[in-house]
Amino acid sequence: MKKIKETEKGFYGCFWPVTGSRYGVIAMFGDDCEDHLARSAVRWLQKKYGVNVITLSTSRKDYGHHNQPVETIGAAIDYMKERGISSFAVMGASTTAMFSLVAASYYPEITLTIAMSPSDFVMEGFYRGKRDGFEEWPGEGESTLSWQGKPLPYLPFVYRHPEYGMKIREQAKSGHDMVASSWLFNDSEKAHPLQEEELIKVERIKGRLLLIGADDDVLWETTRYIRRMMERLRTREHECIPEALIYEHGTHFVFPEGMIKSVLPIGGDLMSGLFAAGKKFPKECKATRIDIEEKMTEAIKEWKISGKARKPIWRN
């Protein structure tokens, strides 16, 4: 697996080429573009699908998300175009699933979008590190994403530091989870009903759109957000081919099983076991990951053939 590190091309990331392939995937996994999770995702994608990959992250040693330029995706696309790549996909999980959806809504060159545990709105920016005994805190007047130098409209967190971290800690302790924050997001949406400008314009996305989530996700209610996106697409003209994969069990880590095994050779039970639901339903979570891999493989193969699907799909 060959790596070309790029930090001065308009994005912070690594390019992992495959000779002769015209397919390029922008993958946003892990806290750094060359950490274990990112490398494992590349290894899995290239072994299984034979695609070029650019792994992106915010910047070195910055594990938060605040005013990240959407244009970094455009720069990555241009970088691959210069190398003869002509078909583009974007993949993300959790916060980067949100980023993937936003990016695909801005760049029509992207014809396959895979979002695992996404939100349907832009989140307020947040920082990670160490501050007053907490590992995460909200920004002040910052979005997670920016466009042309301006923060994108976002859902503001109702809690500020240190109440923000206290609320997350309280929910995690209550549910016996490693981390949990759905209370934070639900309370924020109650205090500030979502505005149209804060919602992701999924109807602008081209090609195949795969939305993946589990009902037992405790970081946020991703399946509720996925259903809202599907309803939005039902009521608006769009050119994407949406597919919703909603599962009862799977936790926040709704990764394909093969990718999880690349990260953790002993399997994904350890990762999903960080949550109470994963410990209680390990077989069901594994079945979810296996099904996700099958459906993702179908979508990627179809994208590689034509970039299109036959009709919208709803699987639940």
Locate the domains of the chain by residue range.
Answer: 4-123+198-315
Alpha-carbon distance 41 to 263, whole Å? 8
Q: Is the dihedral of CA 299, 303, 309, 312 positive or negative?
A: positive
pLDDT tens for residues 229-246?
999 999 999 989 999 999
The pLDDT, as a whole number, for residue 3 is 63
CATH hierarchy code of domain 4-123+198-315 = 3.40.50.1820
**pLDDT tens digits for 165-176?**
999 999 999 999
Residues with Cβ within 8 Å of 70's Cβ and at least 6 positions away in sequence, in order, are 99, 102, 103, 106, 145, 146, 147, 152
Q: Give the tokens for residue 167.
A: 């609320």
Regions of the chain short of the pLDDT cut 50: 307-316
CA distances from 255 to 103, 165, 170 (A): 20, 26, 27
| Residues 165, 148: Cα–Cα separation, whole Å | 31
Angle 190-143-12 (CA atoms, 0-180°, nearest 5)? 140
Task: Cite the beta strand spans of 217-259 per DSSP E.
Answer: 239-247
Helix 71-81 × helix 95-106 angle, to 10°: 70
pLDDT at 82: 94
Measure the CA–CA gap between 135 and 5, rounded to whole angstroms: 28
Report yes or no on whether pTM surpasses 0.85.
Answer: yes
What is the pLDDT at residue 171? Answer: 98
> Within 13 Å of residue 279, how many CA atoms lie on the same side as its CB?
8
In whole angstroms, give the CA distance from residue 301 to residue 261: 21
